[in-house]
Amino acid sequence: MAETIGFEKIEESEDEGMLQLVGFEIANQQFGVDILLVQEIIRSAKVTAVPNSPEFVEGVINLRGNIIPVIDLRKRLHLYEETSEARNWILILNIGDRVVGFIVDSVTKVLKIAEDSIEPPPEIVIGGLENQYIAGVCDITGVLFVILDFSRVLFNEEYRMLKDIDQDVEELLLDGDMMI
Amino acid sequence: MSEIDMSLLPDFIVEAEEHLEEMELMLLQLIEEPGSLELLNDIFRPIHTIKGGAQYIGLQKVSKLAHSLEDLLDLMREGKKKSSSEIIETLIEARDRIALLVGELSASSCEESSVDDLVALLTGMLADGKAVEVVAPAQDEMTTPQCDYQEEEDEELFSVFLTHLQENYTALVTLTRELPQSSDCITLLNESQALLDALHSSANYMGYDELVGRYNHWRSEIEQAIEAVIQGTSPSFNFMLDISAELKERFPQLKDVDESVGDVTDDVMRAFAEMEAAGESEPDLPEGSSDPQPTTGEDVTEDVMRAFAEMEAAGGSEPDLPESSSDPQPPTGEDVTDDVMRAFAEMEAAGGVELAPERPASEDEPQSTSEIDLVLLPDFLVEAEEHLEEMEEMLLQLMKEPGNLELLNDIFRPIHTLKGGAQYIGLDRISRLSHSLEDLLDLLREGEKSSSSEIIETLMVARDRIALLVKELTANSCETSSVDDLLTILAAITKGDATGGMTTAESVKPQDEIAQTAAIYQEEEDEELFVIFLEHLQENYTGLILLAQELPQSSDKIELLNQSLVLINALRSSANYMEYVELVERYQVWIGDVEQAVAHLTQGEQVELDLMESYLTELRRTFPQLTDVTPAPAPVSDPSNIKVVINEPVVGGLEDTLLKRDSTARSSSAEQVKPPSELYNNLSSALDTSLSQGSNAEDYKNLQHVFDELVSKNAGSAPSSEVQASKKVTPSKPAASAAVKEQKPSKMARKIKKSVRVDADKIDALMNQVGELVVDRSYFFQLFNEMRDLQRHLKETVGLEQKDVKLVRTFIYRLSEAIAALGRTSNELQEGVMKMRMLPISQIFNRYPRLIHDLTRNSDKQVNLIMKGEETELDRMIVEELSDPLIHLIRNAVDHGIESCEMRLKAGKPEKATLVLEAYHESNHVVIEVTDDGRGIDPEKIRKKALEKELFSAEELENMSTNELIPLILTAGFSTADKITGTSGRGVGMDVVKKNIEKLNGSLEIDSKLGIGSQIRLKIPLTLAIIHALMVRVGGDLFTIPLANVEETVRVFKHEISMVEGVEIIHLRGQTLPIFRLSTVFNEKCTERPDKSFVVIVSVGGQRTGFVVDELLGQEEVVIKPLADYVQEKSGFSGATIIGDGRISLILDVYELVRMTAKRQAKKQLEQTDKIKSKIKLH
């Protein structure tokens, strides 16, 4: 059903102070995510759209009997730069016991970096990216990798949604296109 | 320990909840029958279990409250207190408090609510009817402040604090003493201040605000004193004394350094240690407690009783705390201490080892010890084995490092856990043995005793015995091996040091000896057999003594001796079957001697007649359990005299026997050892003469004289006393075994219900997997259908030969068989797992008697609640979800439906209303009916209200039938009540019910007849996880509509649809209902046929709505899977399911969807009117 790339778990004792990142690309920007968060990477899964769900929710997929929501990371991070590449990679991450799929443009490689080479997010916005979702950045052979804080990517929005439920209802109600 | 045992907490909570529920029902019952003794006993049981559990785990507040409750119930049981409604209300309140605490425990694992108010209330009630009780109120007061400082959750922390306090306190007292003599007052005062500072900080971290305040006060006093000294004046240092005195008062645990006070405290502490050993070693000897204490008479008994009452009050709430065992004695002044001291001196004199003085409030103890909690037993056994293993290792280690204190502490822990567990479950022997072990270890820890190899050896033996008991428990769920021998040894070792050789230098030795000989004959594996043997022995022994007594005076000595021979022979055979080789040999020798004597007598020769006595003495020595009997002519009412009396015939070595008797008495029974001294003196002087002059007739006359005196003194109570005495003195053995025997049938009767407590999540996960299996099955079925298509294709298009097609057909047939088999298995599996999730509805039904009670308490209504079908099982989740709606329904019934007694009588109805709560199965639904015989729902009132609320026009309402009107009460904000009461009338009852029931895919029906009553019928599916659903296609996606919401499906042609205010509507059998196109709602590509559409009519909240779908696919059983919350939120879907081919189908939340679309519609209308208005404005 879905193509899977597996990662061997790295013994932590051996690489103290080292961090393994899965690198991926969205809108020509390089990103990284801690390999320990990555459950698996799949391609070509059929995504079932969920009407009326938040815009960034692409839908849900059937992952071996479990229904997993899939979030379009491009939309979630508001990166609307056009690319011609096929966007069919789904990173399945396990964030605080929640399994969520994130659609990315492509998965590049696994990198090993020293933890101290990670710098705090810069004040300025990188490629139109809001820095609240950035855990840090690091420079690898001249390419700037953005390490995303996925718990924020996921929960920040939820928090906002909970807070603004009523407002959202209003928005929904005002959305004329959705009307009958 | 008061540190809460987290591992056992969840179990306790579950159990406690069950018990509390049980209790509530019984308490409510008690209101009906306040005099029922059985009911009181029934109520006692769960409280006791809760107390035991709470103590074991270390829940101070729960156990304290439960203990007070027990006390009160005890009085009620004894009839000293009538169960007035006031008391029962208090009991209910206390139950609620415990329930609250249990709730807090399950939420945050700590007891938050205070129980002091209720405990005070209960104690107050106790005191009311307790004029007879001996507990002095002053003592009670003394224990209260102490409790404040002992209720500390963290026992370990508290003991650290206490140690620190003790240290500083000692230093402080020393400083205080030096102060008056010292020249350098300032230095001393500064030192004191430093000490107080330290104390201050420790009190601070313990959070004792009051204490901190006191410390602050004292510090400032010292500061003032220092200033005074600096200024040259000599201040009074009395305040320093005050400080130590107050500290001492607050913490009675503090050891005093002041010699004069110290002695007393030490004595009391020792006395308590003693008492503990005595009281704990034989707690199952209730008979012993009723023994009168002849010498000091009632005074002593009272003293002891008071002491025990006190001890219970102080230490009763935590009897499994070895540390606290020595501190429950608050310094209550000389008087009490003296009393207690005297009482203990008395007890000690009596041997004390097996004395079990009366415990006024603890009659439940024997009950609890005899009943083993079989549910918890397996857990305990597994744990015990682990602990024992651990212990063994550590004991072996201890042999290598006898001085290792840490190791001792380590050993202490498993024993303590074992003891706690054993006590909780009701394993008397293990708990007693481990208790003694604890005592010994305590001494070792405190360094009062060094761990010699001997002691360690004993510890090992004790450990092995516990292991043996545990094994026995595993095999047949009862403790068979005796522990008394080890208890005696342990007590001897412990006592050897505790009393500092003051009293027991002589007595311990013979006791030891006896204990050891007794041990030989008590280690018998088969307790029952041994008891029989003992009974037999006792019988024959008594016979022999009587014979021996007659012997000197008898003329026919040969006959008597022959009779003795028969008895001895009987004894020998019984010893033989017990395989006591040594004993058999002794009997053999005896028989030989007696035979010889008979032979001598027949030959007319004189024989020594004391041969019987010496053997009897020996027998007595070997079996300390034996009871002596009084000779027939000299009955005595006082058990204390018995032993003296039977010693009478035993002339040879009498003194020796007496000594022996003395010590055996200690270990064998609750005899009183202080005989009336005058008689005693007479007796011994007589014996002395008889001894010095040898055995002749004169001596016997002498003795006879003494006993005549005895008889005359005790005349009157004579005839029955023998039986009584022998009964009373019956040693613990037979008594205990009788208990064992009694216990056995009850144990057999109680069917062991094997059950496993499983985390609900695990079952849910399993359910999930079963759901997958169901999906897989339908996938197979789909494949089967495809295969058939393929067959047709092969036959028709490819043109396979008939022969080849047959092959395929055979295969398809076999495939269908396999699929059918898979279907059966998966169905059964699904059912099985569903049953695992099922709970009887009694779980919630049982809450309602209380609800009725609360609702009617302050009203002029009387309601009789009848529950039927409580055993009906429902899915766990549903049961929980049902609780609230049912509460609303019952409230409505009681508040609105049922009339007051007066009105009912006027209407010709019975005064007491009936409310029936009934549950039963109906196909794969459960129906719950709430029926009352109240006034029913008045359609006119509904009409009036509906008109007020402008729900309908007057004409519409006029035309509505009763059946149409009644469902209006389900509308939000609709209430027919004239006034709002505390419980209902706000109009948020029925709509909540309706909503909750619909959430469960259930339905609700109301049937009401004015003046006769109402019935509300809830129909709920058995489970939530799997639903019957209608599959539909909208655009390219499949959607699932729960069948519970679907009323019907209709095909609608385009011309049948009309537009009203921007909403499409259709007419269905005279009704107008709106329709929504799901393709629009879901933003799907519309693939509807232009001419006709399929409409699924759903019903929500009594309102019908049509959903237009592209295609109807059929019914299916689907497994509901949750959606992530941020996906599901406001989407109109309640979950998703995976269909046969792996695709996902979203399940419609019909209620939400209708609500959403209706809102949008309203909004749109608003906009349109706005637009129109603005247009008008523009124009």
Please give the biggest Cα pair distance in chain B: 154
Is A172 a domain residue? no
Distance from CA of A178 to the nearest CA of B (A): 7
Q: Determine, for residues A100 and B772 on separate chains, whether the beta-carbon distance falls below 8 Å.
A: no
The arithmetic mean of pLDDT across residues B583-593, rounded, is 78
Within 10 Å of residue B248's Cβ, how many Cβ atoms? 19
Give CA–CA dist B122/B116, Å, rounded: 10
Q: Which of B1121, B1126, B1146 sits opposite A54 (nearest CB)?
A: B1126
Q: Bigger pLDDT: B849 or B1085?
A: B849
A45: domain CATH number is: 2.40.50.180
Least confident of B664-673, B831-840, B862-871: B664-673
Band (pLDDT 50/70/90 cuts) for residue B1067 is: confident
Contacts of A169 in chain B (CB under 8 A): 1130, 1159
CB proximity B1084 to A under 8 Å: yes
How wide is the angle at C-alpha B1033 spanned by C-alphas B1032 and B1038, nearest 5°? 90
Compare all CA atoms of chain B with the CA of A162 and give the residue at the minimum distance.
B1126
For residue B90, give the 3-state DSSP assignment. helix
What is the helix, strand, coil percentage profile of chain A, to 5?
Answer: 20, 45, 35
Distance from CA of A179 to the nearest CA of B (A): 7
Q: Bigger pLDDT: B745 or A145?
A: A145
Compare all CA atoms of chain A with the CA of B776 and give the residue at the minimum distance.
A65
Domain covering B155-257 in this structure, CATH number: 1.20.120
Q: Which of A50, A165, A174 sits opposite B1133 (nearest CB)?
A: A50
Among B433, B286, B437, which Cα is nearest to B365's? B286
ipTM higher than threshold 0.90: no
Q: Read off the amino acid at residue B647.
A: N
Q: Determine, for residues B1144 and A57 on separate chains, whether the beta-carbon distance falls below 8 Å.
A: no
Is the pLDDT reported for residue B726 higher than 50?
Answer: no
For residue B1116, give the 3-state DSSP assignment. strand
Give CA–CA dist B241/B249, Å, rounded: 12
Is A143 a domain residue? yes
Instruction: Provide the domain count of chain A.
Output: 1
Give me the pLDDT at residue B966, please: 79
Is the pLDDT reported for residue B541 higher than 50?
Answer: yes
* B837 alpha carbon, distance to own chain's centre: 25
Q: Bigger pLDDT: B1035 or B481?
A: B1035
Q: Bridge partners of A27?
A: none
Tokens of B717: 């109570």
Is the pLDDT reported for residue B510 higher than 60?
Answer: no
Compare all CA atoms of chain A with the CA of B774 and give the residue at the minimum distance.
A65
Look-up: residue for tokens 């000692």?
B170
Give CA–CA dist A27/A8, Å, rounded: 28
Give me the pLDDT at residue B624, please: 67
Is A159 a domain residue? no
Distance from CA of B825 to the nearest CA of A (A): 20
Give me the pLDDT at residue B1012, please: 85
Contacts of B1124 in chain A (CB under 8 A): 69, 98, 100
Look-up: residue for tokens 């009452």?
B309
Q: Which residues contact A127 (CB under 8 A, 6 or more apart)?
A: A27, A28, A29, A79, A81
For residue B202, give the 3-state DSSP assignment. helix
Tokens of B787: 């295969």
Per-residue DSSP letters for A69-93? EEEEHHHHTT------S---EEEEE
How wide is the angle at C-alpha B527 spanned by C-alphas B522 and B530, nearest 5°? 65
What's the CATH number of domain B9-133, 1.10.645.10, 1.10.3720.10, 3.40.50.1370, 1.20.120.160?
Answer: 1.20.120.160
Burial readout B466-491 (b: 16 or more C-beta within 10 A, e: otherwise)? bbbbbbbbeeeebbbbbbbbbbbbbb
Mean pLDDT comparison of B163-167, B388-392, B634-638, highest-scoring range? B388-392
Q: Which of B768, B1079, B1081, B1144 to mutate to test the interface with A (most CBs of A within 10 A)?
A: B1144
Q: Which of A157, A169, A179 sits opposite B1164 (nearest CB)?
A: A179
CB proximity A97 to B under 8 Å: no
Band (pLDDT 50/70/90 cuts) for residue B378 is: confident
CB B925, CB B876: distance < 8 Å: no
Sign for the pseudo-dihedral over CA of B924, B930, B936, B941:
negative
Q: Bridge partners of A114?
A: A18
**Residues B699, B700, B706, B710: what is their CA dihedral angle, to the nearest 10 degrees?**
160
Band (pLDDT 50/70/90 cuts) for residue A72 is: confident
Full domain range(s) for residue A52:
3-149
Give CA–CA dist B965/B957, Å, rounded: 8
Tokens of A33: 């995510």
Band (pLDDT 50/70/90 cuts) for residue B382 is: confident
Band (pLDDT 50/70/90 cuts) for residue B357 is: very low
Report percent pLDDT > 90 for chain B: 1
SS3 assignment for B564-599:
HHHHHHHHHHHHHHCCCHHHHHHHHHHHHHHHHHHH
Q: Which residues contact A88 (CB under 8 A, 6 or more apart)?
A: A43, A44, A103
Band (pLDDT 50/70/90 cuts) for residue B1114 is: confident
Q: Read off the amino acid at residue B610.
A: D
Band (pLDDT 50/70/90 cuts) for residue B594 is: confident
Sign for the pseudo-dihedral over CA of B520, B521, B523, B524:
positive
Q: Determine, for residues B1160 and A180 on separate chains, whether the beta-carbon distance falls below 8 Å.
A: yes
Give me the pLDDT at residue B332, please: 39
Band (pLDDT 50/70/90 cuts) for residue B589 is: confident
Burial readout B506-517 (b: 16 or more C-beta within 10 A, e: otherwise)? ebbebbbebbee
Give me the pLDDT at residue B496, please: 64
Is the pLDDT reported for residue B859 higher than 70?
Answer: yes
Compare all CA atoms of chain B with the CA of A171 and give the residue at the minimum distance.
B1160
Give me the pLDDT at residue B84, please: 78
Q: Determine, for residues B1081 and A51 on separate chains, whether the beta-carbon distance falls below 8 Å.
A: yes
CB proximity A50 to B under 8 Å: yes
List, for residues B885-916, the tens digit of each pLDDT value: 888 888 888 888 888 888 888 888 888 889 99
CB proximity A169 to B under 8 Å: yes
Is the pLDDT reported for residue B317 higher than 50?
Answer: no
List, for residues B982-997, the tens digit of each pLDDT value: 444 445 567 778 878 8
Distance from CA of A173 to the nearest CA of B (A): 5
Q: Which of B1126, B1130, B1137, B1147 to mutate to test the interface with A (most CBs of A within 10 A)?
A: B1126
Band (pLDDT 50/70/90 cuts) for residue B1096 is: very high
Give CA–CA dist B378/B753, Å, rounded: 12
What is the helix (H) or strand (E) element at residue A171, kind and residue range?
helix A165-174
Is the pLDDT reported for residue A121 higher than 60?
Answer: yes
Burial of A13 from C-beta contacts in 10 A (0-12 / 13-18 / 19+): exposed
The arithmetic mean of pLDDT across residues B936-959, rounded, is 79
Strand pairing category for B925-932 and B913-922: antiparallel
CATH 2.10.240.10 fits B376-505, yes or no: no
Q: Read off the amino acid at residue B148.
A: D
What is the helix, strand, coil percentage profile of chain B, to 5?
Answer: 65, 10, 25
Is the pLDDT reported for residue B360 higher than 60?
Answer: no
Is A154 a domain residue? no
Is A56 a domain residue? yes
Query: Phi/psi at B284 (nearest 5 deg)?
Result: -100, 30
CB proximity A46 to B under 8 Å: yes
Is the pLDDT reported for residue B863 higher than 80?
Answer: yes
What is the helix (H) or strand (E) element at residue B520, kind and residue range?
helix B508-522
Strand pairing category for A66-72 and A98-104: parallel
List, for residues B624-650, the tens digit of each pLDDT value: 666 655 444 433 344 443 343 334 343
Distance from CA of B773 to the nearest CA of A (A): 10
Q: Read off the amino acid at residue B691.
A: L
List, for residues B947-958, the tens digit of each pLDDT value: 877 777 788 778
How wide is the angle at C-alpha B961 spanned by C-alphas B955 and B964, nearest 5°? 100
Give me the pLDDT at residue B1179, please: 64
CB proximity B1074 to A under 8 Å: no
CB proximity B829 to A under 8 Å: no
Is the pLDDT reported for residue B731 higher than 60?
Answer: no
Band (pLDDT 50/70/90 cuts) for residue B517 is: very low
Give me the pLDDT at residue B140, please: 36
Which ranges in B209-361 belong to alpha helices (H)?
A: 209-230, 238-250, 259-281, 286-289, 298-315, 333-349
Look-up: residue for tokens 């090993």?
A112
CB proximity A57 to B under 8 Å: yes
The arithmetic mean of pLDDT across residues B201-215, rounded, is 69
Q: Determine, for residues A65 and B768 on separate chains, whether the beta-carbon distance falls below 8 Å.
A: yes
Contacts of B1128 in chain A (CB under 8 A): 53
Average pLDDT over chain B, rounded to an integer: 69
Q: At what angle do helices B259-281 and B484-498 cross, to 10 degrees?
A: 170
Is the pLDDT reported for residue B518 higher than 50?
Answer: no
A129: left (phi over 0), alpha (psi -120 to 50) or beta: beta
CB proximity B1131 to A under 8 Å: yes
Q: Bridge partners of A103?
A: A72, A90
Give me the pLDDT at residue B1039, please: 92
Domain covering B1026-1171 in this structure, CATH number: 2.40.50.180
Band (pLDDT 50/70/90 cuts) for residue A174 is: very low
The arithmetic mean of pLDDT across residues B362-374, rounded, is 45
Burial of B641 from C-beta contacts in 10 A (0-12 / 13-18 / 19+): buried
Q: Bigger pLDDT: B812 or B1024?
A: B812
Give CA–CA dist A106/A98, Å, rounded: 22
Q: Determine, for residues A161 and B1157 on separate chains, whether the beta-carbon distance falls below 8 Å.
A: no
Give me the pLDDT at residue A153, please: 76
Is A135 a domain residue? yes
Q: Bigger pLDDT: B424 or B316?
A: B424
Radius of gyration for chain A, computed over Cα atoms and rounded to the nearest angstrom: 17
CB proximity B1081 to A under 8 Å: yes
Is A129 a domain residue? yes
Is A67 a domain residue? yes
Q: Which of A53, A157, A178 sits opposite B1131 (nearest CB)?
A: A53
CATH topology of domain B840-1021: Heat Shock Protein 90 (3.30.565)
Give me the pLDDT at residue B52, please: 82
